[in-house]
Amino acid sequence: MSVDDFSDDCEWRLAAYRELVSLVNGLFGSFLADYCCNCRVVIGRLPEAEDEEFTLLEGVYPGCCHRGAGDIFRLEGQVPERSYLEAGLIAALQRERKLRMSSFADGSCGGTYRLRRHDDNSVISGAHCRYFSASGCILGDLKGPLCINFICPPMRRDLLLVCGDDAGLVGPEPDFLLLYRSLAVISYDTRAQVDRELESLGRRVKVFKERCRQFLAINKIDSLYDFFNGDK
């Protein structure tokens, strides 16, 4: 790597990071957002949750957005020296998040929830991620690695069907679209390698979206969520 590659290192890496998150946000926004908006239905498909019924007593159902989740910077499955986002990149990301948070009123994000489990009448309480608002995540392209990478088992199962069982495209179970690998490249490799990785990810996302569109067209439906969860 040349010395030039390290000038303004964190800033161009942050720009690349934001580009990657925007690509994934676009994919979620077009085809998958209603899964997470109806998380309780989706999670109800897990064998261990089959007969679970809850009543929300207070707050908003958290989905995946529990306290701390947005600040996990681990890159699962990467070699030890690349198993976290690079420290300077984390610092730049946190700086931008702080700025974004400052435009929201105190108390409009985070908070707690309480649920009553019907089975044994017990009450479960928990805390939301500090970036979670009543209308969803406030971070946009500043979301953390776990937030863009995690897809739950029912969602993954559906996406494999949509993509013709192409696990190479969907990615292995803990690495949706091989995003952790791309994030490791953005963290540690040269600018030229990062550019190539973003181009490659852009192509993968394009193919993925095309498969989703084809699936919707063939089945004459508007929503993957409705198709797979409609009668639940």
Contact present, 193 and 12 (Cβ < 8 Å)? no
In the bound state, the residue with its beta carbon closest to ligand SF4 is: 70
**Residue 23 interacting with ligand SF4 (CB under 6 A):** no
Beta partners for 109? 133
Residues 149-168 close enough to bind ligand SF4 by CB under 6 A: 150-152, 155
Residues 36-55 close enough to bind ligand SF4 by CB under 6 A: 36, 39, 42-43
CB of 39 to ligand SF4, least distance (A): 3
Exposed, middle or buried, 121 (CB in 10 Å: 0-12/13-18/19+)?
exposed
**Residue 216 interacting with ligand SF4 (CB under 6 A):** no
**Residue 115 interacting with ligand SF4 (CB under 6 A):** no
Contact present, 134 and 168 (Cβ < 8 Å)? no
**Window of 48-56, 142-150, 161-169, 196-204 that interacts with ligand SF4 by CB under 6 A:** 142-150
Number of Cβ within 10 Å of residue 140's Cβ equals 12
Beta partners for 113? 126
**Window of 48-56, 99-107, 144-152, 198-206 that interacts with ligand SF4 by CB under 6 A:** 144-152
Give the distance from CA 123 to its chain's centroid.
Answer: 28
Contact present, 149 and 180 (Cβ < 8 Å)? yes
Which residues form the interface with ligand SF4 (CB under 6 A)? 35-36, 39, 42-43, 63-65, 69-70, 129, 131-132, 137, 139, 143-144, 147, 150-152, 155
